[in-house]
Amino acid sequence: MKNDVRRLRADRGLTQQELGAAMGVSRQTINAIEAERYTPSLPLAIALARFFETRVEEMFDDTTQ
């Protein structure tokens, strides 16, 4: 699933490790989300949106081409 996690994280100057710690997940989970290899659970998607002060719908794009 396409997402803006990498851009939002970089804009805040955070490492994957730091974001993972803030979300209670591993750096590898953040890496997989950013690489679009893993779609986060709804609770994690909501937590990420709240952390970045945006909406889930704005962070994640589930439309298929």
3-class SS of residue 61: strand
pLDDT 10s digits, 34-54: 999 999 999 999 999 999 999
- pLDDT reported for residue 62: 80
Largest CA distance in the chain: 33
- pLDDT reported for residue 63: 78
Phi then psi for residue 23, to 5 deg, are -95, -10
Q: Where are the alpha helices (DSSP H) in 1-65?
A: 5-11, 16-23, 27-34, 42-51, 56-59
Residue type, 56: V
Residue type, 57: E
